[in-house]
């Protein structure tokens, strides 16, 4: 939902004018990197505005450049921006990000061998879907569903599930609706179920045996209709590149 206040309307309209106000991340090599960064940051800020973001959880999910822009423009509460920034150390990972990666590393390695996909890519996908383990899908009573890959509970699902509000894209339009998601007893079950989903469903064959090629993996998922977010592949690639580089 679009926030009606003037600051958010003005911020969205003026975004194209901020190119000189955002620095390239460390390691940026030129105009191509800057253009890609601008596209990603613009999309993140636009999504933030349209979703009426503003609390620490919403800001936490943004890249450093997007958080910096919001802070300068006064488009999010200062406390929320500071809280999010404090949770992201110099290595670019959020608070407890390393602990999250360490905890799922054996599961990512096992599933990666089954799928022929780099464990770093699977870890990046789990981080993207769960907000680095800090924004899990929960049952109504607060229990963690351990659904690290955002897998919905279709009609054939016989296990436990949880219903939450989620954002989907249809024909380029962003919609919010309630969906049922699978619930697991632990992260291991989540990884194993995710592996079965990709191996058993012909739609995702293009994602298998892609090794460390995150672009090919993301294309395989997209062709199978894994996620409706048009930026899903770019977000996954950004996190995976960070993990693969060891930053």
Distances from the Cα of 113 to the Cαs of 117, 193, 236, in angstroms?
7, 14, 19
- Give the model's pLDDT for residue 213: 95
**Chosen domain end from 29, 54, 86:** 86
Phi first, then psi, for residue 68 (nearest 5°) are -65, -40
CB 207 within 8 A of CB 217: yes
User: What are 79-101's pLDDT values in tens digits?
Assistant: 444 444 444 443 457 777 889 99
Task: Verify that 138 and 81 share a domain, yes or no.
Answer: no
Task: Verify that 70 and 143 share a domain, yes or no.
Answer: no
Task: Verify that 165 and 220 share a domain, yes or no.
Answer: yes
**Chosen domain end from 86, 111, 142:** 86
Distances from the Cα of 25 to the Cαs of 28, 30, 41, 63, 101, in angstroms?
6, 11, 12, 10, 23
Q: Is residue 221 part of a domain?
A: yes
- Give the model's pLDDT for residue 219: 93
- Give the model's pLDDT for residue 146: 96
Q: Is residue 106 part of a domain?
A: yes
User: What are 171-180's pLDDT values in tens digits?
Assistant: 777 778 888 9
pTM score, two decimals? 0.64
User: pLDDT tens digits, the chain, 247 residues: what are they?
Assistant: 333 344 444 444 444 444 444 443 333 444 444 455 555 555 665 665 555 554 444 554 555 555 555 555 555 544 444 444 444 443 457 777 889 999 999 999 999 999 999 999 999 999 999 999 988 899 999 999 999 999 999 888 998 999 988 877 877 777 788 889 999 999 999 999 999 999 999 999 999 999 999 999 999 999 999 988 888 999 999 999 888 876 5
- Give the model's pLDDT for residue 120: 95
Task: Verify that 130 and 186 share a domain, yes or no.
Answer: yes
Q: Is residue 92 part of a domain?
A: no
Task: Verify that 190 and 79 share a domain, yes or no.
Answer: no
Task: Verify that 50 and 150 share a domain, yes or no.
Answer: no
Q: Is residue 69 part of a domain?
A: yes
- Taking the C-alpha atoms of residue 35 and residue 57, their distance in angstroms, rounded to an integer, is 27
Task: Verify that 32 and 55 share a domain, yes or no.
Answer: yes
Domain containing residue 216: CATH number: 1.10.530.10
Nearest to 204 by CA among 215, 218, 193, 191: 218
Task: Verify that 105 and 185 share a domain, yes or no.
Answer: yes
Task: Verify that 120 and 151 share a domain, yes or no.
Answer: yes
CB 197 within 8 A of CB 209: no
Domain extent for 51: 6-86
Q: Is residue 208 part of a domain?
A: yes
Q: Is residue 180 part of a domain?
A: yes
**Chosen domain end from 86, 110, 139:** 86
Can you say how many angstroms the Cα of residue 157 is from the centroid of all Cα atoms in its chain?
24
Task: Verify that 43 and 106 share a domain, yes or no.
Answer: no
- Residue 91's SS3 state is coil
Instruction: Cite the active site residues.
Output: 168, 193
Q: How many domains does the chain contain in total?
A: 2
């Amino acid at each position: 939902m679009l926030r009606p206040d003037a600051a958010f309307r003005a911020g969205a309209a003026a975004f194209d004018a901020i190119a000189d106000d955002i620095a390239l991340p460390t390691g940026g090599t030129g105009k191509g990197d800057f253009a890609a960064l601008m596209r990603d940051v613009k999309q993140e800020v636009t999504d933030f505005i349209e979703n009426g973001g503003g609390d620490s959880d919403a800001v936490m999910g943004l890249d450093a450049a997007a958080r910096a822009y919001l802070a300068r423009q006064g488009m999010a509460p200062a406390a929320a921006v500071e809280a999010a920034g404090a949770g992201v150390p110099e290595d670019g990972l959020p608070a407890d990000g390393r602990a999250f990666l360490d905890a799922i590393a054996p599961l990512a390695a096992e599933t990666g061998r089954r799928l022929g996909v780099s464990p770093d890519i699977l870890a990046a996908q789990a981080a993207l879907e769960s907000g680095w383990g800090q924004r899990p899908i929960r049952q109504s009573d607060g229990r963690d569903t351990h659904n690290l890959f955002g897998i919905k509970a279709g009609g054939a699902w016989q296990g436990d599930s949880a219903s939450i509000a989620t954002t989907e894209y249809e024909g380029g339009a962003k919609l919010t609706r309630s969906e049922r998601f699978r619930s697991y007893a632990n992260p291991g079950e989540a990884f194993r179920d995710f592996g079965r989903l990709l191996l058993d469903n012909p739609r995702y064959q293009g994602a298998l045996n892609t090794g460390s090629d995150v672009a090919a993996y993301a294309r395989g998922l997209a062709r199978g209709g894994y996620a409706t977010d048009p930026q899903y592949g770019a977000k996954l690639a950004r996190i995976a590149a960070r993990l693969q580089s060891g930053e």
